Amino acid sequence: MGDNLNIKAKEIYTNLTVSELVEHALQRGEGILSDNGALVIHTGKYTGRSPKDRFIVKQSSIEENINWGDVNIAISEEVFDNLYGKVTKYLQDKELFVFQGYVGAEEKYRLPIKVVCEYASQALFSNQMFIRKDKNEKHVAEFTVISAPGFKAEGKADGINSEAFIIINFDKKIVLIGGTQYSGEIKKSMFSIMNFLLPLKGVFPMHCSANIGKENDVAVFFGLSGTGKTTLSADPQRRLIGDDEHGWHEDGVFNFEGGCYAKAINLDPEKEKDIYNAIKFGTVLENVVLDENRCPDYEDGTLTENTRAAYPINHITNIEISGKGGVPNIIIFLTADAFGVLPPISKLDKNSAMYHFMSGYTSKVAGTERGIKEPQATFSACFGEPFMLMNPSVYAKLLGEKIEKHNTQVYLINTGWIGGPYGIGKRINIPYTRAMVTAAIEGKLENVQWTEHPIFKVLMPEECEGVPSELLNPVNLWENKENYNSKALELANKFNENFKKFKAVTEDIRNAGPEANKDLLEYAMV
């Protein structure tokens, strides 16, 4: 059913050019052009993903493989069919804009898709975000996304939670989106589908950025929002493969996408030059405020802090145009530790890598959300729990197999606080973090001496080129060593408490987590 929808629309425009889509969007009043040529749209009430409105149709073909719960919410066939009928009826009198293309740069594993849009601006988003098909290439979609932001559901009366809904139907191969104009729902729905389909083929799907060096060596970067994933993977000495979603198969990695969906809040033309310069004609700017001269004010979060820029990857100059790379030499987990207790860089073995991957730790700090006065530990399994449809242990097992087979080195880098927690310590300087990333990628840490952290049980280097040695052991920078240990044990307990929810893991993985033992309080006093 994925490619045969039987929607009798007023007019259907298929695979229009960027210029044509921009023209339609402007004529239809969907947005305006900024002074740099980008199409600026406002998404209304929904300025981000709506996780409580994302559902998966419960079907016997997938039931055993889905990690059902608060993240992957089950819904019945009847609810889907009812809403599908209402949406298709709603679209019959509309102009529709259709994109045909692919998710996945690797031909063997790519997924042909079709995106049917009520809005020209969302078809433009899809054109820039996914991989475009060649003009005369035969294309049969395996999955279809239908996006109808103007259709509002009736909440409980329709068997869902609100006017908005994102429903994935694997048997019918349809994603049905209504009530929300936030384009990220289109992108993340397809990411979620790939995260379900690829493990069944032995491919490891990853919520990560990836780049490639002059010797064709590949590094991948995992990390939640605010950890520096996009910034650190944008390296002038290395080509960007992709900034968000990848698959790792037997011969290497491949980008799922043909574009980038970058956060634009506080975008700095000096620190984030590549992203800043990529925002031009063809880019879709979501919820960015313009000044009186139509110049984007990236510091203005009036509409939302989650302002976004969607542009094709070729708007960036230093890229790997194929979207592919070899087997990763280095895996880097990024965390912004606001407790100030994790080492700036540490090395993980296979079991500790699987432990930290399943934990997916970073932290929220005061001021980021209402009511937060102290740093709060945040855990998102696989560094992308909302998009992982299977049990996290499935993805962790794939990670462990890849590490073991290819002897890939794994590092945990803390881009957060040192010398004390948030409010007392300071955030580690980016040049030091970049030096650590470079040292890891270039193999400069292979012959240094390592010391095991007695609480977190990760290995800390005793030296790293370009970084003062006293920074490498976090306790050195705390004035009060007892306070360090107290905070370290507090975070260790949070790790262990969070990990209790994972049942299907080996003792080797579980034991790779922190040792929250009060007898270790003497550690820092030595």
Positions marked active-site: 49, 188, 207, 225, 229-230, 244, 308
E strand residue ranges, 173-307: 174-178, 204-212, 218-223, 239-242, 245-249, 252-255, 259-263, 284-286, 289-290, 296-297
Which amino acid is it at 135?
Answer: K
Give the N- to C-terminal CA distance of the chain in Å, as an integer. Answer: 67
Name the token pair of 248: 């790792």
Task: Find, among 116, 100, 122, 111, the residue nearest to 46 by Cα.
Answer: 122
- Taking a C-beta distance cutoff of 8 angstroms, is the pair 137, 112 a contact? no
Name the token pair of 446: 């292979």
DSSP 8-state assignment for residue 467: B
Q: How far is CA 262 from CA 115, 236, 455, in A?
A: 21, 18, 36
> Strand, helix or coil at 149?
coil
Name the token pair of 88: 């298709």
Task: Find, among 93, 59, 79, the residue nearest to 166 by Cα.
Answer: 79
Q: What are the CB-based long-range contacts (under 8 Å, 24+) for 81-87?
A: 82/158, 82/159, 83/153, 83/158, 83/160, 83/165, 83/167, 83/176, 83/178, 84/174, 84/176, 86/151, 86/153, 86/158, 87/146, 87/148, 87/151, 87/176, 87/178
Name the token pair of 418: 């040192």
How far apart (Å, rounded) are the C-alpha atoms in residues 175 and 185?
10
Count helices and strands (H / E) in the chain.
11, 31
To the nearest 10°, the Cα dihedral for 343, 501, 497, 383? Answer: 30
Which amino acid is it at 235?
Answer: D
Go through 396-409 and write b for each residue having 16 or more CB atoms within 10 A of its CB, e for each that does not. Answer: bbbbbebbeeeebb
Cα 375 to the chain's mean position, in Å? 22
Name the token pair of 519: 């007898």
